[in-house]
Amino acid sequence: MTMLLEMRSITKEFPGVKALDRVNLQVKAGEIHAICGENGAGKSTLMKVLSGVYPAGSYDGEIHYEGSVAEFRGIRDSEHRGIIIIHQELALVPQLSIAENIFLGNETARGGVIDWHEANHRTEALLKKVGLKESPMTIVDSLGVGKQQLVEIAKALSKDVKLLILDEPTAALQENDSQKLLDLMLDLKAQGVTCIIISHKLNEVRYVADTVTVIRDGMSVSTLDAKQGLSEDDIVRDMVGREMSDRYPERDRRAGDILMEVQDWNVWHPEHAERQVIKNISMSVRAGEVVGIAGLMGSGRTELAMSIFGKSYGRRIGGTVKLHGQPTDVSRVDRAIAAGLAYVTEDRKSLGLILDENIRFNTTLANLQGVSSNGVLDGNEETTVAEKYREALRIRTPSVFQKVGNLSGGNQQKVVLAKWLNTAPEVLILDEPTRGIDVGAKYEIYAIINQLSAEGKGVIMISSEMPELLGMCDRIYVMNEGAFVGELAADEASQERIMSLIVDEKG
C-alpha cells in the first residue's frame, strides 16, 4: 500500500516547552490510523502542524503528502488538498440550518447570491452518505451532539476529503451514537477515505484502527499493527511507560479522622435534563489526607467537584455531604465556604480570578468579612493579608498591587490558592492545580499541598496527569463516565492499573 502521508521528524517548540520532539507518523492510503497518548502528550499539536494551524516554518521536519513535500501555510491550504480536521469542540453555528452550516464559507453562490435549491439538494445527498435522515433545513441546535458530529463529517465530505482527522470524536457521545460514528468511519474507509482518529477509548481504537501510533511526552514511541490481534494492554504500556523520578516533595503520610463524606451523589446536566452527569458517587476525605480523582477529560471530575461546591454545576443534585460526621448544607457557594470547603478551579482565568484587578483584590475576595468590620473594608488589613500570602506562597511580584492579568500562570495559580487559603478551609478541592504551569512552579504547588495536609486539612486533587496523582496522593478514586470505577491505595496504584480500570469499564 502506498503512503498517503508521512510526517518526518516533526519538532515543534513553544517558549520553554518542546511540545513535539522528532515525531514520525506514516499513514497509508485508505487506512484508519489511530493516534493514542495521554492528555498533553502532543497529539493535538501534531494535528495542528498537519493542518497548517501552525504554518510551515514554525516547526522543524517535513510533511510528505501524496508523494511530495507539502508546506501548508494555513488551514485553507490543507483543506484545499483534502485534509479536513474535525475538532473535539464542534465548529458548527448552532443557529443556522444543516445546509447553511455545511456550505458555510463555501456557499453555492453565483455573484454573491446563494442558490438555496442547490445547497439543500447537495446537502440531502451528503446527509444520506452519513446516515442522517434530517431535512437540510433543520436548525443544528435542535440536533443532539451525536448527530451534530455527523453533520461535521458531512461538511468534510462536501469538500472532497481525502484525509479525515477526527479529534476525540466520541468523547461527548453516548454508547450507540459512538457505535454509529465508528461504523460510518469503516464505511468511509470502504469508499477510499483515509482517516486519522485520536482517541482515549482503546476499545474503539481496536474496533476501527488498522495501525496505531502511540505518542508520549511529545515523542512517537511506537507504531503498532492493529490487525495482528493488538491488545489494549500493549497500547496502555506504551502510553504510560514513563520513568517516575522524585518530582514530588516528600510528605509524612498520616491520615486522621474522616473530615468530609459525600454519599450517593447524583447530578443531572443543567441543559439536557435527561443526561445524568454524576452517577451515585460516594467518597470520603480524612484529615491530613490527599485524595486523588483520576479520569480522562470529560469523565465528570469537574462536574462532581462543582456540584458539591455550592451547587455550582448541574441540576437535580441529590445526595448528602457530611462534615465531621454531620450532614452539612453546602447548597450555596457562601454556605459551602462557611462550612469549610474551598474549590480551586481548573480554569483560573475565567472562573478563578478577576484579571483586571490586583493581587490584593483577588486574595481577599472570598473572605471580605475577614478584612472588614460592619461592612466597611480595612484597606491596611487587606494589604497585610495579601502580603502574608505573597510571602507564604512565594508569589513572585514586586507588590500586591500588581494586576493579576499580568502574572505568569504559576503565580496566578498561587493567587487563586491564596484566595482560598484565606477562607481558612478544612477541605480543599484542587481541580487540575498544576495545569499550564512550568515544572518549578508545579513543585512549589506540590509543596503547598503537602503543607496543607500537614496542617490537618483534607485535600481532594483532581488531575489528568497520572504521575502527579501517583506522586502526591494517599488514595486515588478512578472515575469514568460520571461514576467511580475503582479506588486504589497509594501502594497498589499504578498508571497501568488506573488506565485498565478506565478501559475495562469501557470495554
The residue ranges that bind other proteins (CB under 8 A) are 309-310, 312, 332-334, 336-337, 343, 345, 350-358, 360-361, 365-366, 368-369, 372, 375-377, 379-380, 383, 398-402, 419
Cβ-based nearer residue to other proteins, 191 or 373 = 373
Q: Distance between CA 278 and CA 295 in Å, rounded?
A: 13
> Residue 329: which of 344, 314, 342, 319 has the closest Cα?
319
Taking the C-alpha atoms of residue 4 and residue 11, their distance in angstroms, rounded to an integer, is 20
Q: Closer to other proteins at the Cβ: 23 or 415?
A: 415
Q: How far apart are CA 269 and CA 274, in angstroms?
A: 7
The least CB distance from residue 376 to other proteins, in Å, is 6
Buried b (16+ CB within 10 A) or exposed e, 87-112: beebebeeeebbbbbbbeeeebeeee
Write down the least CB distance from residue 171 to other proteins, Å: 23
Q: How far is the CB of 271 from other proteins (least distance, A)?
A: 14
Instruction: Closer to other proteins by CB, 280 or 312: give it.
Output: 312
In whole angstroms, how close is the CB of 1 to other proteins at the nearest point? 51
Q: Which is nearer to other proteins, 246 or 334 (CB)?
A: 334
Tell me the closest approach of the beta carbon of residue 296 to other proteins, in angstroms.
Answer: 24
d(CA 361, CA 363): 6
To the nearest whole angstrom, how small is the minimum distance from the Cβ of residue 412 to other proteins? 12
User: Which lies closer to other proteins via its Cβ, residue 130 or residue 342?
Assistant: 342
Q: How far apart are CA 445 and CA 393, in angstroms?
A: 8
What's 12-81 look like in SS3?
EEECCEEEEEEEEEEEECCCEEEEECCCCCCHHHHHHHHHCCCCCCCCEEEEEECCEECCCCCHHHHHHC
- Return the number of the residue (148 or 423) whose C-beta is nearest other proteins: 423
Q: Report the C-alpha gap between 350 and 66 in whole angstroms.
A: 43
Write down the least CB distance from residue 418 to other proteins, Å: 12
Nearer to other proteins, 57 or 398 (CB): 398
Distance CA 377, CA 423 (A): 16
CA of residue 167 relative to chain centroid, distance: 12
